Each structure stands twice: as C-alpha cells, then as structure tokens.
Structure 1
C-alpha cells in the first residue's frame, strides 16, 4: 500500500514538473508585446505598454510618433492633430513633442482623464471640474458655469461632451450639426463620446443614443444593439464594444473603418480613429482595420523584430518580421488582389515592384501575389532550390542554387528571354521591360528593352557586388563602394554625383536612385520632377533602404521604419515595438513672453502665438494666452542654448547661453515676462521710419475693410490700424535687435536684471 502511495506521489510530481516546463517554454517563445491602453488619431495610432511606456506609429509629419526616453508611468493617451498627450499615473499631463506641450497649463495636476481630437485638449480633474486649452475658435474651451461634478469628457471636432455624476450630459462648442443639442430627458448615461459633428451617449442599460450629423449614418444606431460596455467616436464613424468582447461599428465606411474583422473577439478596449479603428484584446495584443495611408493599421500580434522593408507603388509598402509579410500601407485586398490567400510565411526575403509581390521562402520555393494580369504570379510548379528573386512590373525572375535563371510573366520586350548561355548568377534585378543579372565573377549581363541603352553594360565593368534597375537605366554597385549608372545619355539626370563613395546599398524607383552609405546616410539623384529625391534633414543610422514609385522606406539601426515622399506629405513611422527606453538626463526650458504694451492682463490674445525657436535643436513652439512656452526633454549642452523669439510686426529677439539645470530653466515669469518690441513691420531687424510709413499707408483701416487690412501693422491687435499702433512704434523708435540684451548669460539668478532692463 505504501509503495502504491509513493508511486502515485512520484507520478504527480513528475507530471507537475513537466507541466511547469511546458508553461515556461511557452512563455519563452511567446514574444508578442503586451499593451494595456490604446488611442487612435486621424492618421496614427498609439498604445501604452505594460511597463507604462508608449509607442506610436503612422503619420509622423510633426514627429508625433517619436517618444522621448523619459516619458513613462503612463495611464492614458489622447491624440490631436500633430501631437499625442499623455496622462501620467501621478495625475500630471505631458506630450511627446513640442506641439503637444505648447499650451499645457503650467502646474497642471490632479488630472484623471484627457481627451483630444483636433487642435484642443480637455482634461477632467479629481474634483469633477473640466479644464481645456488650445484652439478656442468655437468657444469649446469656455466651460459653461453649470458644468461641474463631471465623471468623463470627450472632445469632438471643436465641441466637447461631458458626463455628469448624476447621469446627465452637457455639450458645448461648435454646434453646426446639432451635436451640442443634448436630447431632452437623456439620463442614466454612463459614458460619452464625441465625433465629427455628432455625439454619442452610452446608457446604464447598455443601449446607445446618438445625435448631431447623420450624413454618413453615424447616428443610425444598429437596431437591437444592446449589452454595450464602451463606445468610441471619431471622424464619421462609431465603435461599440459589447459585453461578450465583440465589436460593432457604424457610420462612414469609405475606408473600411466599419468593416470589423469577422473573427475579432476577446476585445477589452476600442478606439475610433479618423478613418481607421483599433481594438485591444484581452491578451494585450492590438488589431486594427481601415485606412492604411500612413501605416496606422499595424497589428501588434504580427510584428516582431523588423528585418527588412520593401516599397512598391503607393498602395503597397511591406515590412518583413518574424519571417513573414506585414502589409502596412493601404493594402489593397479586392477580388483581383488577394495577398491574404498567399502563404507569405517562413520567408527569406521579398521583392516588390508596383503591385507585384514576390517572396522567397527558407526552403527555396517561391510564392507570389498581386493582380496577375500577365501570369506573373503563376510560379512554375517545379521551381525549387531558389536563392534569389526579383519582382518586375508584371513579371518575375528567380536565380537557382546552380546559378541558372528562370523568368515568367509579361514578356513584351523580351525581359523574360533569359540568355541561353547565362550561368553562375548570384543576383537579379528587374523593372518594367529589362532584366539584369550579376555573375559570380562580378560582371553584369542585361536583356530586354534597350530603348534607352539600359542594356548596354559598360565595357570592362567588373567587381560589381549589387545591381538595380530603373525604368530606363541600370545601376551597379562596385566592391570599392562606387556606383556606375548607364543609359543612352551619360550626362542625364542619372549621372552619379561627383565624389560619391563608400556606398553599401542601392535602390531604384522608376526615375531616381537612392544610395545608402557606410555612415548610414542617404544620397539621392535622378529625375526630381515630383521631389522624389527628397531626403529628410538629419536622417542617419539607416540600415536598409527600399525605393518605391512614390515613397521611400528605410529600416534604421534601432529597428524602426520611416517612410517619406516629399516635405509636404505625411511621413510614415513604424517603431521598434520591442525596444526598451533608456532614461536619459534631460531638462526643460520654459518661460513667459509678452509684447511690450502697457496694461496687458495676465491672459491676453496678444501674448499668444509668439513663435519660440530652440535654435540648436531646430524645435519651435508657440505661446498660449498667458505667454507661456515650454520645451521638454532638452539634453544638456555645455555651450548653452539660444532662444529665437519672433512675431509678425515685432522685433526679433534672441536670448543666448541658456544652460538648463535640474530645477529647469524658466525665462521670465507670469508677473515679469520677457518682452518683445513692436514696430519692425518690414523685418529689417530695426524699428525706423520705414515701419512708420507702412503703418501710415493703412492708417484707420480696420479688419472689416476687405483685403486692405494687414494684421502685422495692427500691433495691439484691436482690429484697426490707428494712432495706438503709431505710439507703440514711437516707444521703440530706432531700436534694433542688438539693443536687446543678446549676450547675457541667463540662469535663474540673473533673470531679474533682464526684467528691470525691459521695464525701463
């Protein structure tokens, strides 16, 4: 009997041991990032990780997806136009960029919730009061006197909806569509959400009420909808989370933002973006759908360490992660273009041209997806042992382990007619009508369309290590880091820039070339008609580059991805989801500015919109109506920083040698701000007779006088150009920028001297 008991105990212990090992092993292999909160913006998405740090991806035109290393302990996020605002666990509010920090009131604390959609922010305090800042064009920042005891707030497009503790709702601001006309008798509400011209209320019984604009059906709550636990509205659509973890959507569906994935379940949080939707699942992963124009719809469960990027036409941008494709931009998936039906897993590499996607798997087989107009996706059934691939416009090329080449698809220019004696090939390149092959001996062979001499390989070309093809030209990268380009016209725009060297990678679009240098920087040249040779200032630490028809993608050394076209367009950004933030010692530079006009109150529109530039870091922000500005996450600089202060009609001012310290550097105060002098109308850095003449020419003109009124001559912004503006000029007559205290060392102990100078 004792032996049986001991045997049973031993079996149980062994089973428990192996069960623990299995769980441990599963935890080791399951590397998906876990998130606890999400927020969707107009063209980007942000999320808080379990460790309290954030990541953001999508449109990065204003660096709104770049996360400062010291932004942590986060509780909630809100995305506005060009910025992300974060609520911290301690009840304070910060932003990840200067645009978001612009108007955050100083000493803001005890915040329990934040909301933002366009260019203003509202926050709920512990005591149930609401505070707002930012654009107030429709008085959305003017809190009604009877709005108190608030439980939650939601910012729409220029209007705000607030839920009070008694279950009633208040709304104010822009009311063009009746979005602020709360239905009579509405009560027992437990949550609110505001969209573009409409408002949503979730009642205690799990039903939803909507009012305001209904041009896209955003107020057509689905019949029978119940058991709703949360709602989210933005743009022109609504998401509703049900108690069973499923999601319902209605409203505008032009970008499939309401096309909820059929298998989506176990959802615990939702966030509606401008034209996309995001859901957080109980396992901490994120699912998103809708518009992909800026890469805002990355799903976290499909993203690991990013190993490569590939850019096709405007609709097709891909990253390779976990040996599989993650489509991140637009992502056509209509009846003729089904990438989802292709097994793009266990990949070694991919190649993309236009809408054609070719993948080489680790086992040496090839998969292909796209429109298949010319059989470019009809991979030969017996094709195996492949070591390299190239996707052309509507045709495909593969190199086998034995060095032979096979091509299929469109053959209008003989681009698929592989030379019979071609062998010992290690790489191929393809574009629209011609094909290149690089041989083991470093020589190049070309065939197909030769209308521009793109197949006329230069005599003696050798020691080549990489090749690439454009529409009417061919490119070779030599082992010594130099580049050779050939077509009919050697003096064309494709001519290699003088002195270009140390190149380690090349990539081509239809009409231009981008070279990645050993130092991680890029050089671009070619046809620049549409600014396709644009490279963002300061771009460095690039690991890989891929040029598409309209957009360039780069993979950086830190594992993040950047996509760009030309300056005025959105910049795509995908973070390294697995990176950990290393805290850095950074500082703040803040202060108060004001026009030198007697009698201004502490808050005045004259104090707002003063441009403050942190010169060395090329960062700028604008003051709020208290004249306050704040730069966060400023690194130490032994040489000090320069602030450049400008406002139209005022004399530019620079403050030098600002050295931030642990207590922060505050320049001026609310009571004694730094002054700027009015009167430099013509921006010649002096206030003189020329400025008075410009004012005299429009004397007594007011803002209602059609196109005659010019605001920078109305120095006191009273909507009329009159004697008061002349007096302001007279007060500072013959002063120049050098009359400011330019070279004084500013620290917290010497500010008073500046104040005294400004007030004399």
Structure 2
C-alpha cells in the first residue's frame, strides 16, 4: 500500500511542514522545470492504476468493471484517462477494485466498488454508466490515506487517525454508507497502513505501533469504545507498507523487516541493503536501492525464493505498488514505467498486453502510456470508450472521433469465397469524395474508392469493442493528424 512518505527522490520533492511532521507537497523539481506534468504519486489495484500529477490532476486506467478507473464508466481503459472533478490532488490510494484521492486541502475522494453506482438513463451507455468520484464527508484535514481494498485509514494533520469502511443498509442492500471510527490512542502519526485486521502507525519519531481494528469473534470492525491499546513494534523506521496480512518496515539503516499480523513477530529480510523505498504487490515486495535499481522478492514462491534485480529498470527515483502483480517506477528523467508478470491492464501498455519478451527475465518493464487529449477541427472532445496504442499506432472505437470529423461509418458482413465461404467483416468510412473500405480480419485489406491500396491493417477488439486504425484511416481519407507523444495531444482535421 502507499505511504505519503513514498519519496520522489531527494532531488524531486519539496517539503511542507503540516502539523508535526514533514509531508510531501506534490510539487517537485520536475514540476518547476518542465511544462509537462509528471507523476507525483501512483497506486494500483488488482488490475487498474491511478496517478496523481504535478499539476494536481488525476488519471486512471485498466480493469474497470466497478468504475475504479474513475471515468464514469465500467469500460476497461487501456490508455490512461484524466478523471473529471478532481483537482489539487497530492496522493492516491488503490486496492482491489477501489480508488481514493487526497487533495492538498485535506479532502478525500472515493470511487470504484461500493462508491460508484450504476447510473441509469444515459443515452449512449445504458448499462455501463458509473458514478464519478464522491467526496468522503467524514474525513477532513487529512495528510495521508491507505486502503486494503475494503476499509481504509486516514492520518490527519494533527497526528490522529480515522478508520473508514462501507456498510450496507439491512433494509436496502443496494444502499451503501460509510462508517467512520476515530482510532483512539493514535497520536503524532505521520502515516499508516491497513492490513486485514490491523492498522500499523508510523509516527514522526520513526516508531511503529499496531492497533487491532477487527473483532474476529463477531466478524466486524471494532467500534471506538472496543479498540484495545496501541502496541509498540519497532523504532528507527522510515517507511511502512503492507500486503494482505504482511507488513514491511524500511529501517533507517536501509534494511527491511517483515511483520506478520498473525504471528505478531518481526524478522529482518536478508538480501536487502542500501534500500531507500519499499512498496508491495500481491505476495511481492518491491525495493528501490539508493543506486536507482529495483529489487523484487516474490515471497510466496517458497523458502528458496530470493530477491532479484529487475534488470530492465534503472535510474529510478521512486516506486509505487499495487494489490496485483505489478508495480510502478518513476525514472529520473520523469518517465513513468510499469513492471510485472500478471494482470497487464494495470500496466497501461495501451493494448492490455506487454510488448517485451517475457522470457528474458522474471519481471519486465513497459512505458506507461501518456494520457491522450483529443481536438477535432478545433474543438476539444472526449468519448466513453477506450483508445488503444498498438505497435505505436493509434486505435479508436466507433463512437469516438469519426462523427466530429464528419466521417460516416458503416459495417456489414458478407461471405468471402477466398475464405471458403466464411463470413468476413467490411467496414466503410466515407468522407467528402472518398470512400475507404477495410475488408477482412487480421490482416485486413484496405480499399480506397473501390481500388485495393496494397496496404493491410489489423483490426483489434478491446473492451469488447472493435477498434479502428485511426492513422491509416486519416491518411487514406486525407484528414490531418498530429500526435504529440510527449504531451498526449492528438489534433485531427486542423483548426
């Protein structure tokens, strides 16, 4: 899980003093020296990711069944999308199928499972419309948040902490409200992480303590009056993170220790020295060495499993984790990377699958695609469906840019004698005096005004939607297309 003390490198952060502890402001050297926003905090769930940027905006991507991406749909998004309604965000938290964001004013926003209900009556998305992020009214003056995928914990500016979790109305199971419990006995806190049944608190002096928050006999979270005393664990700690019932402590001497919720025991992990930051994935520990290298320990792989270096990542300034089998890394040049060996939608590759030969190493890295913005004939537009970037080419769904461009599109199927009478798809794009036909599967033939161009393209299906090769279509129809891959700006049809 994420800690607000997850650093963006000594050269990248500006420190504010809030309450009794130093907290990251979300403004760094990148923000000051570049007009292009850079990520300041990132979090991942089981198959989605969320990023806060130096300009205060938030983007989301990946698996989206419960609205956890935050774009107001349940459509999986293979390229990051900017989330409406959020501003001045300095930290994000995610786990499983939910997401949260913390603003510099101490407000917390939530979306995803239990927070983003279906919205009926939408003309385009009758069954896939979801609610946008909602403000959590029971949390104020917050400096740090963490979640285990169901409940969450917030540290306040004054060093106190609050537990929150969703509850269902017994008379109406579809109605979900949020319960808030003040964690008595917690003071001077700088950050906290929530395990299955326990909250670990790191205070401003580097001391870690535990607090049991769950009554296993009654199967529910404790009320404020039922909370036991806070129990000290260890001192001289700089960062705490968690995964399931395990917590990891980064000692100030650069070593790492493991604390288990069930055994209540702490043990030093061999193989980690000179570590400047730690994060977790599902049964994985990620560690950033002070030399900019990343090390990973798949600690569920048996007693012989040892930490190994993720060789495709170097010159790293900061790292973040997920509850899936992937993590995120910020290179010192400001580029956001993802690496992993599992659910690729959370890695924002653009296509949902990796582009690197996974046989070369146990974990491998890809570039997180830059969010796209769309301008068509001088007007800014947006669309519900995902866009795609496959082999460096732009792909878009039917309900995207074509109507705004004035392109008429149609689809039909016919029997193809070349394919032994099997049905083949025919897509037609008509623009001014030109008619483009994309015929067949993968690869498909491209015909312009009835003549074969000799060009072939691959039609893709993403998020259960047919995706069209935008650059090929624009080129054949004579429509201008400019794509700034650094900023993500796509300009179609001129001004």
- Which bracket does the TM-score occupy, shorter chain normalised? 0.5 to 0.7
Query: Residue deviations 1:409-440, cap 9 Å, x none?
Result: xxxxxxxxxxxxxxxxxxxxxxxxxxxxxxxx
SS at match of 2:257: strand
- The TM-score, its normalising length taken from structure 1, stands at 0.36
- Counterpart of 2:50 in structure 1 is 46
Matched, 1:119 2:150: yes
Matched, 1:246 2:304: no
Query: Residue deviations 1:527-565, cap 9 Å, x none?
Result: xxxxxxxxxxxxxxxxx96238x95453699xxxxxxxx
Structure 1 segments unaligned to the other structure (5+ residues): 1-29, 300-318, 320-326, 341-357, 362-442, 448-453, 457-471, 482-501, 514-543, 558-575, 581-760
Matched, 1:87 2:52: no
- Maintained 8 Å contact 2:416/2:424: no
Aligned residue pair count = 327
1:333 pairs, out of 345, 348, 357, with 357
Query: Residue deviations 1:93-132, cap 9 Å, x none?
Result: 1235681689854263211111113112211101101012
- Counterpart of 2:40 in structure 1 is 36
- Counterpart of 1:474 in structure 2 is 424
SS at match of 2:287: strand
Distance in 2, Cα, partners of 1:359 & 1:144 = 50
SS at match of 1:99: coil
Distance in 1, Cα, partners of 2:107 & 2:141 = 6
Matched, 1:196 2:244: yes
Distance in 2, Cα, partners of 1:119 & 1:552 = 31
SS at match of 1:295: helix
SS at match of 2:115: helix
Matched, 1:546 2:460: yes
Query: Residue deviations 1:314-352, cap 9 Å, x none?
Result: xxxxx5xxxxxxx63266835599xx9xxxxxxxxxxxx
- Maintained 8 Å contact 1:120/1:136: no
- Counterpart of 1:270 in structure 2 is 319
Higher strand proportion = 2
1:225 pairs, out of 261, 266, 272, with 272
Residues 1:506 and 1:51: Cα distance change in structure 2 (over 3 Å): farther
| Equivalent residues in 2 for 1:119-518, closer than 5 Å | 119-135=150-166, 144-166=183-205, 167-173=207-213, 186-212=234-260, 222-252=269-299, 260-273=309-322, 274-298=324-348, 319=350, 328-329=352-353, 333=357, 335=359, 446-447=417-418, 454-456=419-421, 472-477=422-427
Residues 1:336 and 1:77: Cα distance change in structure 2 (over 3 Å): closer
Deviation at 1:77, TM superposition (A): 0.3
SS at match of 1:329: coil
- The TM-score, its normalising length taken from structure 2, stands at 0.54
Structure 2 segments unaligned to the other structure (5+ residues): 1-33, 72-81, 117-131, 169-178, 217-227, 365-389, 394-413, 445-457, 471-484, 490-495
- Please report the RMSD computed on the Cα atoms of aligned residues, expressed in angstroms: 4.9
Residues 1:335 and 1:111: Cα distance change in structure 2 (over 3 Å): closer
Larger CA Rg, structure 1 vs 2: 1
Deviation at 1:152, TM superposition (A): 0.8
| Equivalent residues in 2 for 1:544-693, closer than 5 Å | 546-547=460-461, 552=465, 554=467, 578=487
Higher helix proportion = 1
- Maintained 8 Å contact 1:258/1:290: no
Query: Residue deviations 1:569-605, cap 9 Å, x none?
Result: xxxxxxx99458xxxxxxxxxxxxxxxxxxxxxxxxx
Matched, 1:76 2:107: no
- Maintained 8 Å contact 2:281/2:326: no
Distance in 2, Cα, partners of 1:106 & 1:83 = 17
Deviation at 1:225, TM superposition (A): 2.1
